[in-house]
Amino acid sequence: MDVSNWSCDQVASWLKENNFGDYVYLLCDAHRIDGQVLLTLSENDLKQQPISIPVLGDIKRLMLHIQKLQFDTAATNSIQGCNHTELYADAAAIVSNSLHLEQVVRQRSRHNHKPKESQSHDNPIIEDCDELNGTQSQHLDPEIWKTMLSFLYIFTVFLITSFVMVIVHERVPDMRKYPPLPDIFLDNMPYVPWAFEVCEMIGIILVTMWCIVLFFHKHRFILMRRLFSLMGTVFLLRCVTMLITSLSVPGVHLQCEAKYSDVWAKMKRTLEIATGFGMTLQGVRTCGDYMFSGHTVCITMLNFFISEYTSRQRFYYIHTITWVLNLFGIFFILAAHEHYSIDVFIAFYITTRLFLYYHTLANNRALMQKDSKRTKIWFPLFSFFESKCDGIVPNEYEWPLKWPSFLKMSKSEKVKK
């Protein structure tokens, strides 16, 4: 029977069945606690006036039984699709992990009661059960116009970065006067001439994997907006660090003789770097852009996005592959003597911290609202791009294209065949 409909006599019977008969008069006769009130009791209610149960052990044991009733009631109402689920959500949250359990039940209930039309053969959806342990966002508007703005943002930042790379190239210290700085890793690692190309091939593999994830992910526009926002912010910070201090070249194999006579020559070189994505495989060779490593930023950011937006249970092998590629990519950057160890370390640290900070705020609406004023000042892009997201973006996948008409077959045609 539904606990919320229990009378005082039924609560008394329940107390006796669980060896709390000594408190029947206190709870049922003196304070008229029925089933509905029982579900709202907390440990403080039992400790304080007017109830004030004197024995601590009895308080703890009774509270455990009440919590079990609270959770069972919330679970039952969730499964039945009853409107009373929210009424008992707070009651089920008295214990630290009971809120987690109640959320799981509600999430599973939503999944079980989804309209069948949303799971048609033309648009199949695969649920990622990993996301049931958090609060799923209730507003998953793709906001394509914001995604376009984020693309313009990262496009502008890449142009600025390319121009800054031209400037720092001219400011790089003379190798004859300023030899490579001491570096623990580079001093003990022989120069490998093909290593940097291998690192860029690893980057291409990660980009391909990320494009596949985007193609099938249901919320691809939100994911793209987050990637563009984070990548643009990190590279904008990189522009500042490159301009502040000019480090000497990390390897004697680097040739940094080129100078650009006028503004037009600098602009032409800027376009060459931008169109070649700063990659050696595209024939782009630069100097002076050391603090911090842009290649490390790219492969690390791609690794984290692929790991975040694929299921940890179903695609654990993909996560292993991306982490192995990430670590080997960093190793090959150092083996090629294209960056100092500090360049790679700082790039990895900044990229991972910013990614985690962004997603911690995005996945926790309460934290986002608490820090809203500071966020608007220190992280305005986040406040703008995530204004409608109020929780975790679930990993749901779909076939994004409509099936060609000739592949569809009407029922009458099937009957004829």
What sign does the CA torsion over 179, 184, 185, 187 have? positive
Burial class (CB in 10 A: 0-12, 13-18, 19+), 403: exposed
Helices (H), 217-340: 220-244, 263-275, 294-308, 316-335
Place of tokens 């000019």: 246
Using alpha carbons, select from 168, 172, 170, 302 the residue that is nearest to residue 238.
168
> Catalytic residue numbers?
295, 339, 343
Structure tokens at 251: 């390897």
Q: Which residues contact 28 (CB under 8 A, 6 or more apart)?
A: 8, 9, 11, 12, 15
Q: Are 132 and 392 in contact (CB under 8 A)?
A: no
Backbone angles phi, psi at 392, to 5 degrees: -70, 135
Using alpha carbons, select from 315, 365, 358 the residue that is nearest to residue 128.
315
Using alpha carbons, select from 116, 139, 302, 134 the residue that is nearest to residue 219.
139
Q: Which residues contact 250 (CB under 8 A, 6 or more apart)?
A: 180, 181, 183, 186, 290, 337, 338, 339, 340, 343
DSSP one-letter code for 48: S
Q: Which residues contact 123 (CB under 8 A, 6 or more apart)?
A: 398, 399
Angle of helix 220-244 relative to helix 195-216, nearest 10 degrees?
Answer: 150
Burial class (CB in 10 A: 0-12, 13-18, 19+), 49: exposed
Q: Are 293 and 343 in contact (CB under 8 A)?
A: yes
Q: What span, in angstroms and rounded, lies between the C-alpha atoms of 111 and 394?
A: 12
